[in-house]
Amino acid sequence: MTTGATTRRAAFDLPAAARRDMHDNGFTPDVPADAAQQLDGIVAHPTPNDAAGARDMRAMLWSSIDNDDTRDLDQIEFAETLEGDVVRLRVAIADVDALVPKDSPLDHAAHANATSVYTGVRTFTMLPEPLSYDLTSLRADADRRAIVIEVDVAADGTIARGDAYPALVRNHAQLAYPSAGDWLEGHGAAPPAVAANRALAEQLTLQHTLAQRLRANRLLHGALELETIEATPVMSNGTVTDLKVVRINAARLLIEDFMIAANMAMGRYLAGRNRSALLRVVRSPERWSRIVQVAHDAGDTLPDTPDSAALAGFLARRRAADPDHFPDLSLTIVKLLGPGIYTVTPPDGTTTGHFGLAVTDYTHSTAPNRRYADLVMQRLIKAAVADAPPPYDDAALDTLAQHCTEREDAARKVERLARKQAAAVMLGGRIGETFDAIVTGASQKGTFVRLVSPPAEGMVVNPPANIDVGDRVRAQLVSTRPDPGFVDFRIAKP
**pLDDT confidence of residue 3:** 40
Cβ neighbour number for residue 305 with a 10 Å cutoff: 9
Contacts of 159 (CB under 8 A, 6+ apart): 151, 152, 153, 261, 264, 265, 268
Contacts of 218 (CB under 8 A, 6+ apart): 157, 257, 260, 357, 358, 359
**pLDDT confidence of residue 357:** 52
**pLDDT confidence of residue 229:** 61
Q: What are the pLDDT digits (tens) for 300-319?
A: 999 988 887 788 888 888 88
Whether residue 351 has pLDDT greater than 70:
no
Pairwise CA distance, residues 221 & 223, whole Å: 6
Q: What are the pLDDT digits (tens) for 386-427?
A: 999 999 999 999 999 999 999 999 999 999 899 889 999 989
Closest CA to 326 of 397, 220, 469, 228: 228
**pLDDT confidence of residue 238:** 63
Q: What are the pLDDT digits (tens) for 33-91?
A: 999 999 999 999 877 777 778 999 999 999 999 999 899 999 999 999 999 899 999 99
* Strand blocks (E) in 177-282: 230-236, 239-246, 277-281
- Give the mean pLDDT of 329-357: 73
> In what helix (H) or strand (E) does residue 478 lie, and over which residues does it extend?
strand 472-481
Contact call for residues 215 and 156 (beta carbons, < 8 A): no
- In DSSP notation, 49-111 reads S--TT-EE-TTS-EEEEE-TT-----EEEEEEE-GGG-EEEEEEEE-GGGTS-TTSHHHHHHH
Q: Can you give the length of the chain in residues?
A: 494
Contact call for residues 93 and 204 (beta carbons, < 8 A): no
Whether residue 459 has pLDDT greater than 90:
yes
On the 0-12 / 13-18 / 19+ scale of CB atoms within 10 A, 443 is: exposed
Cβ neighbour number for residue 278 with a 10 Å cutoff: 24
**What's the predicted TM-score (pTM) here?**
0.86
Encode burial over 41-55: b for 16+ CB neighbours within 10 A, e otherwise: ebeeeeeebeeeebe
Q: What are the pLDDT digits (tens) for 271-288?
A: 899 999 998 877 667 788
Pairwise CA distance, residues 379 & 177, whole Å: 30
What's the chain's average pLDDT? 89
- Give the mean pLDDT of 155-170: 94
Whether residue 203 has pLDDT greater than 60:
yes
